[in-house]
Amino acid sequence: MPIDLRRDDLDLLRAAAARLRREGGVPLVFGGLRDDSGVPVTLTLGEVTHDLASITIKPSRGLGGRTWISRRPAFVRDYGTSEDITHEYDRQILGERVTFLAVVPLVVRDEVRGLLYAGTRGAEQLSEAALEGLVVESRKVSDEMAIRDEVDRRVRLEQSVAAAGAETAELQRLRDAFAQMRVIARETHDPSTRERLDALLSGPSPSGVTLTARQLDVVSLVAAGCRNSEIADRLGLGPETVKSYLRSAMTRLGARSRHEAVTAARRHGLLP
């Protein structure tokens, strides 16, 4: 029976917010993690009302929504009069008497997974040190979430391998090693090593169906259980580029889904 050992990612956000309050002296810290509805504010420290918890940030809406789209930190010195943002959340934000407001997106493999805000009241402004602290803490959260994602992927793979039996388990390990070796072939700076790996991993297809090296890189990582964002990270590509390679591979293989592409590639002798 699969066991979910992953701790609540919101705990990472809570710890980051607590450090910003304790070490950075930030008067107000709030934020949340993305779900199907947007980014609901589920964490608040230093609040004077309970209204912030009623906010769910949407893309392009408010300061956080602008940051969601740009994937870059941003701030306004006077929230109430700023003409650079939309003001859907004024009731809650101004209800806290916020003036200076900064926000950093939590980005994992080019995907926004949450937002972390820091604000002040009255004439007080956040110092450069506090702003830098906000960026650093947000990156810590993003990096830890990326690590947890990779652990989850490996646990899922091991659980599926264990459930499949010894012979299938050995085959799955071979397939995972094949995918990893293709990644190494792209990462190495030694032309001789790359040439030897390409020769080892790119044998001719008995059926005559072929994939380009990049298409095969992508399909082999799909076979190893990776999502598009993980594939992009491993191969140093953009998510849309990964999708393009996968679509092209599916067309060559006559497949209508990721699963069918992997099955067809194995049938044609392109994957173990």
Q: Say if domain 166-267 classifies as CATH 1.10.10.10.
A: yes
Amino acid identity of residue 168, one-letter, is: T
What is the pLDDT at residue 3? 45
DSSP string, the chain: -----PPPTHHHHHHHHHHHHHHH--SEEEEEE-BTTBEE--EEES-SSSGGGG-EE-TTSHHHHHHHHHTS-EEES-GGG-SSS--TTHHHHHHTTEEEEEEEEEEETTEEEEEEEEEEETT----HHHHHHHHHHHHHHHHHHHHHHHHHHHHHHHHHHHHH-HHHHHHHHHHHHHHHHHHHHHH---HHHHHHHHHHH-PPPTTS----HHHHHHHHHHHTT--HHHHHHHHT--HHHHHHHHHHHHHHHT-SSHHHHHHHHHHTTS--
Does position 84 have pLDDT exceeding 90, yes or no? yes
For the segment 117-138, what is each residue's pLDDT rounded down to a tens digit? 999 999 889 999 999 999 999 9
Per-residue pLDDT band for 223 (boundaries 50, 70, 90) equals confident
Choose the most confident range, by mean pLDDT, from 2-16, 106-120, 193-207, 256-270: 106-120
Per-residue pLDDT band for 169 (boundaries 50, 70, 90) equals low
Does position 76 have pLDDT exceeding 90, yes or no? yes
Does position 269 have pLDDT exceeding 90, yes or no? no
Burial class (CB in 10 A: 0-12, 13-18, 19+), 224: buried
Q: Please tell me the distance from the alpha carbon of residue 230 to that of residue 227, in angstroms, as a whole number.
A: 5
Domain range list for the chain: 10-150, 166-267
What is the pLDDT at residue 233? 83
Does position 75 have pLDDT exceeding 90, yes or no? yes
pTM passes above 0.75: no
What is the pLDDT at residue 2? 45
Mean pLDDT of the chain: 87
Does position 267 have pLDDT exceeding 70, yes or no? yes
**What mean pLDDT comes out for the span 166-176?**
66
**What mean pLDDT comes out for the span 14-35?**
96
- Comparing CA positions, the residue from 92, 119, 91 lying closest to residue 103 is 119
**What mean pLDDT comes out for the span 69-76?**
96
Burial class (CB in 10 A: 0-12, 13-18, 19+), 120: buried
What is the pLDDT at residue 193? 74
What is the pLDDT at residue 138? 96
Window from 107-121, 206-220, 247-261 with minimum mean pLDDT: 206-220
Q: Please tell me the distance from the alpha carbon of residue 112 to that of residue 75, in angstroms, as a whole number.
A: 18
Per the CB < 8 A criterion, the answer to whether 218 and 231 are in contact is yes
Place of tokens 């939590």: 106
What is the pLDDT at residue 221? 87
Question: Top-level CATH class of 10-150?
Answer: alpha beta
What is the pLDDT at residue 163? 64
What is the pLDDT at residue 134? 97
Q: Which two tokens stand for residue 148?
A: 């947890």
What is the pLDDT at residue 1? 41
**What mean pLDDT comes out for the span 136-163?**
81
**What mean pLDDT comes out for the span 35-50?**
95
